[in-house]
Amino acid sequence: MIQNDIERILVSEEEIAARCVELAHALETHYKDEKEPVLIVGLLRGSVPFMAELMKRFSFPCEIDFMSVSSYSGSKSTGDVKINKDMDVSCENRPVLIVEDIVDTGRTLKAVKHLFFHRGAKDVKIVSLLDKPDRRVVDIEADYVGFTIPNEFVVGYGLDYDQKYRNLPYIGVLKREIYE
C-alpha cells in the first residue's frame, strides 16, 4: 500500500478542498471585470488534481490548456525553459492563469512566466497549491498560494516521487528511507 510510505499527513484532503474555495474567491475578485475567457494553463503533471478542484469553483468564463516544461539549472541561465509539451492554443493578448503544484527553487515558474509575457499574454497570474520559500534560489512568488510548507519532500495530490504517489488525496511527507 502506497499509504505505508507516508511518514505523516501535512495537509488533509478537507483542508485542501476548503482552501480551494478561498483561492477561487480571491481569483473571482481578480477576474471580475475581465471581458475575455481566462486561459487556465496547468503545468503537467503535478497540477492536475489541484486544477480540477479549483476550477470547478470558478464562475468566470475560462478555457483550459496544459503545458509540460522543465527548467534548466546549473550552468544554464535560469531564464531557460525546455518545453516538453506545448499548449494547443495561443495566449496572445489573453489573461493567463498558470496553475502549479509547488514552487520550490522557483526556476520553473520564473521561466514560464517570462515565456508567457514573451508570447504576448496580457496578464499572467500564478496560483500554486504549495510554496516552499526556504528553497527559493530565484526571485519569484506565486500570486496565490494554497499552503506554505517547510523544507520537506512531499507527495500526493498531484506531487510525485519517481512518478508515484500522485493519486494520494492528501499532501504527505514521504518516509526518508524511500528516497535515501
Q: Does residue number 6 form part of the binding site for ligand IMP (CB under 6 A)?
A: no
Q: What angle do CA 73, 79, 82 make, to 5 degrees?
A: 70
User: CA dist 81 to 67, 101, 109, 164, Å?
Assistant: 12, 17, 9, 24
Per-residue cell: 115: 515565456
Binding of residue 128 to ligand IMP (CB under 6 A): no
Residue from 159, 166, 170, 172 binding ligand IMP (CB under 6 A): 159
Contacting residue, 105, 123, 143, 175, with ligand IMP by CB under 6 A = 105
Phi, psi of 147 (to 5 degrees): -145, 135
On the 0-12 / 13-18 / 19+ scale of CB atoms within 10 A, 122 is middle
The only residue of 23, 49, 104, 124 in contact with ligand IMP, by rule CB under 6 A: 104
* Minimum CB–partner distance for residue 57 and ligand IMP (Å): 22
CB 27 within 8 A of CB 59: no
Determine if 67 is a binding residue for ligand IMP (CB under 6 A): no
Among 11, 39, 42, 46, the residue binding ligand IMP under the rule CB under 6 A is 46
User: Active site includes 104?
Assistant: yes
User: To which residue does cell 516538453 refer?
Assistant: 84
Stretch that binds ligand IMP, among 15-23, 24-32, 84-92, 150-158 (CB under 6 A): 150-158
CB nearer ligand IMP, residue 20 or residue 99: 99
Q: 113: closest CA among 148, 147, 79, 64?
A: 79
- Residue 101 makes contact with ligand IMP by CB under 6 A: yes
Contact between 103 and ligand IMP per CB under 6 A:
yes
Q: Which residues are catalytic?
A: 104
Can you give the binding site for ligand IMP, defined by CB under 6 A?
46, 71, 100-108, 153-155, 159
